Amino acid sequence: MKTENKALRVIISGGGTGGHIFPALSIAGQLKEANPDTEILFVGAEGRMEMEKVPAAGYRIIGLPVAGLQRKFSLSNLALPFKILRSLRLAGKIIDGFRPDIAVGVGGYASAPLLWSAGRKKIPTLIQEQNGYAGLTNRILGKKAGRICVAYDGMERFFPAGKIVITGNPIRKEIVPATPQMKKEAAEYYGLDPEKKHIFVVGGSLGSRTLNNSMMKWINDGCPGGEDVEVIWQCGKYYKSGIDAFASEAGDRMKNIRYSDFIRRMDLAYAIADVVISRSGASSVSELCAAGKAVIFVPSPNVAEDHQTHNAMALVRKDAAMMVKDAEAEQTLMAAACSLVHDSARCSTMETNISGMARRNASSDIVGEIYGLVGKTGK
């Protein structure tokens, strides 16, 4: 099949969490759709989850020894300048060896040395800023970037206005509004009763201590307000052994709970859910908009510049979501969720409003910007 898009050589850099990795993979997939001969190299941070997830998706990745600054005193902070200098040297060698047409940064530790090095070598750069409050690294990199693709209005606070394009955040293509067939498949896949109400609790790719503690307290209290509710609970791999022990002790109180460390069929989990409880990382917010779900956000307090609260409030202000503060979640979250799941009118309003904020063509729009920077010539 002929294509008007020339084959490119693209470095995609960043990672650290699923919120960075899944958008990066979505952009890579769209680049391959634009021209299957395009060559893509990922650059991540050693020891982070991209070093596993990216090869599993069929792409090559090189790790840099870069790491983040620990907020509390840690001896590892003393080694940070040396890791950064080594990462900058390695990034330069990677660029010289691969000879990319463009470098794309999606956030995460590795994007800083790679994009900085690319800029010095006059390689076009594009930043995909996922959050409503840009981090310091991207604000610095944005001064030299050719294009900055964002998901929220008002990002002129952080970046040169002429470089900003609102594209939304790339998401997995399978995340779509639920059809009756998807709901039927989801009930069978998760072993759920389709006649009951369903809450999906998801703490991100690494899990959430706050959401897990909120669930355990609710279960210990006898699941008040949830007698006719079934729950899908993603607890995260770091917490799995502790939740296993809890479940063993809880016995029959877990009868309406399906828990696992990682959700492999997010499309089905979203499809069956009447209400979703989630952190408000950028990718999660974008997926929930695309799925059109009533959601209660519990922003993580452990992120730079409190950007998860900014992400959540962008929806709360439009009556497209609810928010419970992390510090209040254990006492109030599940009661709020059980009240919402039984309020069909409120759920319907939120579903309509959040669906109106979905940007389903983010990946293709970003790839369009990539070609705009590189130049779109040849067949």
Q: Which fold has domain 180-355?
A: Rossmann fold (3.40.50)
Same CATH topology for 9-169+361-374 and 180-355: the answer is yes
Which of 204 and 231 is assigned the larger pLDDT?
Answer: 231
**Residue 360 confidence (pLDDT) above 60:** yes
Under the banding of pLDDT at 50, 70 and 90, the label for residue 50 is: confident
Q: Report, as an integer, the average pLDDT of 166-189.
A: 94
pLDDT at 80: 53
Average confidence score pLDDT of the chain = 90
**Residue 248 confidence (pLDDT) above 50:** yes
Q: Which CATH superfamily is domain 9-169+361-374 in?
A: Glycogen Phosphorylase B; (3.40.50.2000)
Q: Over the range 300-326, which residues count as b (16 or more CB within 10 Å of their CB) and which as e?
A: beebeeebbbbbbbbbeeeebbbbbeb
Express each pLDDT in 125-134 by its tens digit: 999 998 888 8
Please name the residue that has the structure tokens 């479940």. 247
Residue among 300, 278, 299, 298 nearest 289 (CA):
278
pLDDT at 82: 57
Residue-range domain boundaries for the chain: 9-169+361-374, 180-355
Structural element, H or E, at residue 103: strand 102-105
Under the banding of pLDDT at 50, 70 and 90, the label for residue 109 is: confident
Give residues with Cβ within 8 angstroms of 350, minimum separation 6: 294, 295, 319, 320, 321, 322
Please name the residue that has the structure tokens 């470098």. 103
The pTM score is: 0.81
Percent of the chain clearing pLDDT 70 (strictly above): 92
Residue 344 tokens read as 């069909």
pLDDT at 193: 97
pLDDT at 357: 92
Express each pLDDT in 3-33 by its tens digit: 578 999 999 998 766 677 888 999 999 999 9
Which stretches of the chain are DSSP H helices?
Answer: 18-34, 50-56, 80-98, 111-120, 136-141, 180-190, 209-220, 240-250, 266-272, 282-291, 307-316, 329-341, 344-355, 362-374
* In contact, 302 and 227? CB cutoff 8 Å: no
Structural element, H or E, at residue 275: strand 275-278
Q: Determine the Cα–Cα distance for residues 53 and 45; give it in Å rounded to an integer.
A: 12
Residue among 268, 184, 183, 185 nearest 234 (CA):
268
**Residue 379 confidence (pLDDT) above 50:** no
Under the banding of pLDDT at 50, 70 and 90, the label for residue 2 is: very low
Q: What is the dihedral of CA 247, 275, 238, 110, to 10 degrees?
A: 170
Q: Determine the Cα–Cα distance for residues 138 and 13; give it in Å rounded to an integer.
A: 13
Strand order in the sheet with 39-45: 60-64, 39-45, 9-13, 102-105, 125-129, 147-150, 164-166
Numbers of helices and strands, H then E, in the chain: 14, 13
